[in-house]
Each structure stands twice: as C-alpha cells, then as structure tokens.
Amino acid sequence: MKVKVAINGYGTIGKRVADAISLQPDMEVAGVTKTKPDFDAKMAVKKGYKLYAAIPERVKVFEEAGIEVHGTVEELLENVDLVVDCSPNKVGAQNKPLYEKLGIKAIFQGGEKKDVADVSFNAIANFEKAVGKRFVRVVSCNTTGLTRLIYTIKKSFSIGKVRATMIRRVVDPKEDKKGLVNGIEPNPIKLPSHHGPDVQSVLPDVNIVTTAFKVPTTLMHVHSVAIELQDSVSEDAVREVLAAEPRIMLINSGDGFTSTAKVIEFARELRMRYDLYENAVWADSIGIVDGELYVTQAINQESIVVPENIDAIRAMLELKNKEESIKETNRTLKIGV
Ligand code: NAD
C-alpha cells in the first residue's frame, strides 16, 4: 500500500515534489492545492493530480473558471498520511495550526524559521534525526548545497573553520514582478548571511561564516567555499570523495562547463525542466593552499531540495532506512546516473 501525501502549495517546489512522489513505488500524491485557477492549476489537473483550494472560500473561483476542484485543503488533509507544505516563505508557519488540528505529519520548506519543526533536514547529513518525527523542515536550496558539500568532506577528513560566499540568483525564472536588472546586491550587507547558522541547524559542530550577494541571473546559485583541513590531504583525494557521493556531480571546465549557463544547457538535455538535483562541483576548482581547501559549486535552486523532500517523507513515515531511501530516490530521479 502506498502512503498518501498532499502538496499544499503547487508552485515552483510543490510541482517538482509532486512529480517526484509520482515516480516512487511507496508513495502517491493524494492531491495538490492552489490559491488561484491559473495555468499551473490547469496543468496540475491535466497531469492527473486532484486539485483542492488552498484558501477554502476560493472553491467557487475555480468552479467559475471551469476547473474541476475536489474541495478545500482541509478536506484533502483529512485523508492523507503526510502533507508537504510548499507554500511561500513564512506561510508554512501560518498553515501549521491546521496540521496540528488534524493530527497529521508535515514537512516545511527552507523559507520557514527553523523552530517551525523538530528537525532541520538534509538526507545525507541527518536522515536518522527525522525518523518518526511529526514536523520536519527541509533546509533551503543554498543550505542544502552547502550542507551536502561540507558533510561529504567532513565524513572523510577532519575539518576546521568554513568560510563561504553565496552568489545568489536574484529570483526564479518565473518571477516577473521582482528582480535586479543591473547591479550586485550585498544581501545581507552585515555579517553573517543566514546560510551559516542554517547549515549549523543540520551540522551543529561546523564552525562556519557565510556572506551572500544577489546577482542578475535566474539559473543557479554559485558558492565559493573555503574549508580548513586539519590533516595533509591531496586535491585528488578530495575529488575522489566528492565523486563517490551521487548527490554531487563533478564537472570540468575542460568539458565546456565555463559558467552556470553551460551547466543548465547540459541539464536541459538531461532532465525535464532542467532540474539538476545534484550539487554541480567544478572538479578543476578544487585547490589546496596552506592547508585550506577551495572549491566552487553551482546549485539549481528550483530542484535541489526535491530528493530531500522524498527522503524526509520516508524518514518521517518510517518507510525505509537511510541507505535504502536515498538509493531509491536516486534511482527513481536518475541521480548519479
Ligand atoms: P512559489 O511562490 O513558487 O509557490 C508557492 C505556492 O503556494 C504558490 O502556488 C501559491 O499560490 C501557493 N500558496 C500561496 N498561499 C498559500 C497558502 N496559504 N497555503 C497553501 N499554498 C499557498 O514558492 P516556491 O519557490 O515554491 O517556495 C516554496 C517554499 O520553498 C518556500 O519556503 C521557499 O523558501 C522554499 N524554497 C524555494 C526555493 C526556490 O528557489 N524557489 C528553493 C528552496 C526552497
């Protein structure tokens, strides 16, 4: 029997998580919610997802637009094992009382504060912490990218301080109401950016300081990371450790990966919607100078958290252990292929 999962908020993350759930043998999408009857709502119905109104009073608006709607979010949630809340930043916390009232488990996304959930989650770093839990937060795209990289290095080598600079895509491609046309925005201007403390919500023993800048691009974030190494380590040993982790993809400038534009061009051939679930780490950026490891990676913000949501569902509902879950998610999403 497949477990039933609801998606509350069928937007950038919600639609990707819904499609990823549909590929899993042990779970199914019970329904998705939308606030308005736009093209995304019509597409959800076309794909066969049962649509519900995220705002109960709006059922009529969908009916008037001629879109089949199965009821309100509350009606959807009455018949599910778990809800993945993919509503906009801070709205997840407003939805939490409904999940508490109905007694269902919920996953929140990185736009929520860490105290919304019992655990801040990253599959490879702390799967076990989410086992059986009621509320889990899958950390943001930048934090997922940083956590995967740091955890993978830390698992094999003893590390000291981490410093990282995030060069952030300003908005997602669909966001036509906001943006930054011609400028580089230190965001935040004051130290530190929230990414460092957010990494510590998953890896509490990592000493990390981060800074961040927004730049006028929509494709990917880029991270420039420096990690102190306690022991003498070779650059090849670092490459080997990163190459062994399926959720990290090593790329080379020699193959034509000269910028995020080329990484996305590659992903366009590889996956639907150019979803790149893996950290794209430039193998030739890996350098060790005076005991410090330098590395540059690119992160596709719209898709990197998708496998993490699938593994969080399995951990919370105790469907599989860490290794089995990650393996199944990687297989179904063709990660590491
Ligand atoms: P989005 O705006 O693309 O989608 C949000 C969806 O929720 C929309 O369909 C909206 O109509 C719907 N919604 C609005 N109010 C709602 C409500 N009260 N209840 C339920 N649904 C409601 O946003 P997104 O980019 O998918 O972000 C969702 C979450 O994922 C945020 O916490 C965000 O920080 C996090 N996240 C986003 C990205 C990214 O780059 N887009 C990456 C990682 C994490």
Please report which confidence band the pLDDT of residue 306 belongs to, taking 50, 70 and 90 as the band edges.
very high
Closest-CA residue, ligand 1 atom 11, reads 35
Measured distance CA(138)–CA(308) in Å, rounded: 7
The residue type found at 149 is L
Q: How confident is the model over 309-333, as pLDDT tens digits?
A: 999 999 999 999 999 999 999 999 9
Instruction: Give the pairing type, strands 292-299 and 279-282.
Output: antiparallel
Is residue 337 over pLDDT 90? no
Percent of the chain predicted with pLDDT > 90:
99
User: Which is nearest to 260 in space by CA: 245, 279, 244, 273?
Assistant: 279
Measured distance CA(30)–CA(13) in Å, rounded: 17
Please report which confidence band the pLDDT of residue 238 belongs to, taking 50, 70 and 90 as the band edges.
very high
Please report which confidence band the pLDDT of residue 43 belongs to, taking 50, 70 and 90 as the band edges.
very high
Q: Maximum CA pair distance of the chain? A: 67
Query: 85-97 burial, b for 16+ CB within 10 Å, e for fewer?
Result: bbbeeebbbebbe
Length of the chain: 337
Residue 215 CB partners (closer than 8 Å, separation 6+): 167, 168, 169, 170, 180, 184, 185
Q: How confident is the model over 256-298, as pLDDT tens digits?
A: 999 999 999 999 999 999 999 999 999 999 999 999 999 999 9
Measured distance CA(124)–CA(241) in Å, rounded: 14
- Give the binding-site residues of ligand 1, using a 6 Å CB cut-off: 8-14, 33-35, 54, 86-89, 91, 95, 109-112, 140-141, 172, 301-302, 305
Distance (Å) from CA 229 to ligand 1 centroid: 38
pLDDT of residue 233: 97
Structure tokens belonging to residue 116: 């919304």
The residue type found at 98 is L
pLDDT of residue 113: 97
